[in-house]
Structure 1
Amino acid sequence: MSKKTNYSYIGIAFIILVFGIIFVPKIVDRITKGDVTRQESRTDYANEKTTKVSDLVFIPGVNGNKKVPEFSFTNQDGKTITNKDYEGKVYVIEFFFTTCPTICPRMNQNLVKIQNEFKDFENFGVASFTINPEHDTPEVLKAYAKAYGITNSNWNLLTGEKDAIYKLANEGFYIYAAENKNVEGGFEHSGNFALIDKNGFIRSRKDEAGNPIIYYEGITSEEEQVNDEGQKEQISDLKEDIKKLLNE
C-alpha cells in the first residue's frame, strides 16, 4: 500500500472523528429534548395524544365493580334512550322532578354550568331521571330543558314507568328517591350526582381517609363555596374528575 493511500485513510478517519465529536452530542441532545421525532406515513408521534388511567376509583359492588344498571326510558324529544346510548361517554346522573321547589333548581343550575364548561366535548353528557313521571311528560321535560338552557345533545331528561325509575334510583344507584305527600313538593330525593366513565362504571375520588366518596353533592354551587353545614362544595371536584375521565 502506498503512502498516498495511507494518508487518504488517515484523512477520512480524522473527518469521521471530528464529525463524531462535534455533531453526535448535538443530535443526542435534540432527541433528548424532543426536537427530533420519527416521521412515518402512519402517524406523527409528536402530535399524538396519550391517554392514561386516572386516580379515580371504582365502586365495589356485589358482583365486582359497580356499573350502571340497564335502563330504557323516554327523553324530552320522545326518543327511547337506554344505557347503551351512553357507551363511550362520560356522564353525570341525577334524579329530580320539574316541579321541585327546593333543591332541583340549584342542582340543575350547577349542571348547566358544567354543561357549558364541557360544551366542546362530544363524549360528555348528563342523564336526568324524573321521579314524578306522571306529571313530567316529554313535553314538560322539553319545556324545562329550554327554560334552564339545556343544549347538550347528550343531556337526556328521562321519564317512564314510575316503579322502574324508583328501582333504578334506590337499588341501582342507592340514590334515595321517594314519594312523600308530607314534604314540600310531594317528593323527596337525594341531591347527589353520580359520575360514570366511558365503560359504564361508577367512579369517584377518595376522601381524606382514602375511602371513595361515591357521590358528589350537587346542591351547593362553586360560588357558595360551602353548604349550610360548612362542608366544601363538590362541583369543582366533579369538574376536575370529569376531565380526568374524558382523558382516560
Structure 2
Amino acid sequence: MSSKTNYSYIGIAFIILVFGIIFIPKIVDRIKNNDVSRSDRMSNVPDNHYSSKEKLAFLEINGEAKKVPEFSFTNQDGKTITNTDYLGKVYVVEFFFTTCPTICPIMSENLIQIQDRFKSIDNFGVASFTINPSHDTPEVLKEYAEKYGITNPNWNLLTGDREAIYNLANLGFNLYTAEEEGAAGGFEHSGNFALIDKNGFIRSRTDAYGNPKIYYRGTITEKAKYDEDGEEEEITMLKEDIKKLLNE
C-alpha cells in the first residue's frame, strides 16, 4: 500500500474523529432534552400544502390585524357570553343551526374530535353561533350539546338577535350566512372554521405566496380525508395550529 493511500485513510479517520468530538455530544444532549423525537420530525412535515413551521399569520385589513368584533349572546345554559369571556383562550368559531340536514353534523363531529384532543386544556374553547335563533333557543341548544357530547365548559352554543348574528357572520368574519328558501334546511352558510388567538385576533397559516389562509375547511373529517370534489380535510391542520397558539 502506498504512502499516499495511508495518508488518505489517516485524513478520513481524522475527519470522522473531529465530527464525533464536535457533533455527537450535541446530538446526545438534544435527545436527553427531548429536542429530537419522531413526533417532532413528523410535526415539521407540512400538510395540505401550507407551511406548518412558521408562526401563524394575522389577517390584516388596511394594515391592521383583524380582531373578533364585540358580541353578546345567550348560551345553552341561559348565560350571557361576550367576546371578553374568550380573552386568554384559543378558540374556534363556527356558524351552524341545529336542524341543518347537510354539513352541520359533519362540522359538529369534527369539533367534537377537536374538543377531545384538547380536553385537558383549560384555555381552549369553541363558539358556535346559530343562524336560526328563532328556533334554536337555549333549551334547543342544550339538547344539541347533549346529543353530540359537548362537555368543554368553554364551548358555548350561542343564540340571540338574528340581525346581530348575521352581521357578526357576514361582516365580522366574512363567513357567508343567509336565509334561503331553496337551500337545504332553509339556510345557506359557510362550512369553514375560524381560529382565534388568546388576544382575540383571527389567525391562520399562510399559503405559498405568503397570504393568510384565513379559514379551515370544517366539512371533511380526518377519516374521510377528501370530499367528492377532491378537497382535502383540514382538521389535522387546525389541531396543529390550535396547539401552536396555545403555546404562544
TM-score for the superposition, normalised by structure 2: 0.78
Amino acid at match of 1:140: V
Q: Tell whether 2:155 aligns with 1:179.
A: no
Which residue of structure 1 lines up, in the alignment, with residue 43 of structure 2?
none
**Secondary structure of 2:116's partner?**
helix
- Aligned-pair distance for 1:227? 1.8
Instruction: Report 1:186-201 matches (<5 A).
Output: 186-201=186-201
Q: Distance in 2 between matches of 1:237 and 1:167?
A: 28
Q: Deviations along 1:108-143, whole A, 9 cap, x unmatched?
A: 000000000000100000000000000000000000
**Secondary structure of 1:68's partner?**
coil
Instruction: Report 1:157-168 matches (<5 A).
Output: 157-168=157-168
Which residue of structure 2 lines up, in the alignment, with residue 215 of structure 1?
215
Which residue of structure 1 lines up, in the alignment, with residue 37 of structure 2?
none
Judged with a 3 Å threshold, the aligned counterparts in structure 2 of structure 1 residues 63 and 136 are, in CA distance, closer, same or farther, namely farther
Which residue of structure 2 lines up, in the alignment, with residue 126 of structure 1?
126
Structure 2 segments unaligned to the other structure (5+ residues):
1-24, 31-53
- Aligned-pair distance for 1:231? 2.0
Which residue of structure 2 lines up, in the alignment, with residue 148 of structure 1?
148
Q: Distance in 2 between matches of 1:106 and 1:125?
A: 18
Q: Deviations along 1:192-228, whole A, 9 cap, x unmatched?
A: 0000000000000012332211000000000111122
Amino acid at match of 1:125: G
Q: Deviations along 1:79-134, whole A, 9 cap, x unmatched?
A: 00000000000000000000000000000000000000000100000000000000
Amino acid at match of 1:205: R
Amino acid at match of 1:190: S
- Aligned-pair distance for 1:63? 6.3
Which residue of structure 2 lines up, in the alignment, with residue 55 of structure 1?
55
- List 4+ stretches of structure 1 deviating above 6 A: none
Amino acid at match of 1:215: Y
**Secondary structure of 1:77's partner?**
coil
Question: How many residues are aligned here?
Answer: 201
Q: Distance in 2 between matches of 1:215 and 1:136?
A: 25
- Aligned-pair distance for 1:183? 1.1
Q: Distance in 2 between matches of 1:157 and 1:63?
A: 32
Q: Distance in 2 between matches of 1:167 and 1:93?
A: 14
Which residue of structure 2 lines up, in the alignment, with residue 234 of structure 1?
234
Amino acid at match of 1:213: K
TM-score for the superposition, normalised by structure 1: 0.78
Q: Distance in 1 between matches of 2:200 and 2:156?
A: 16
Which residue of structure 2 lines up, in the alignment, with residue 206 of structure 1?
206
- Aligned-pair distance for 1:232? 1.5
**Secondary structure of 1:185's partner?**
helix
Which residue of structure 1 lines up, in the alignment, with residue 41 of structure 2?
none
Amino acid at match of 1:185: G
Q: Distance in 2 between matches of 1:226 and 1:216?
A: 14
Q: Distance in 1 between matches of 2:141 and 2:174?
A: 24
Q: Distance in 1 between matches of 2:242 and 2:61?
A: 22
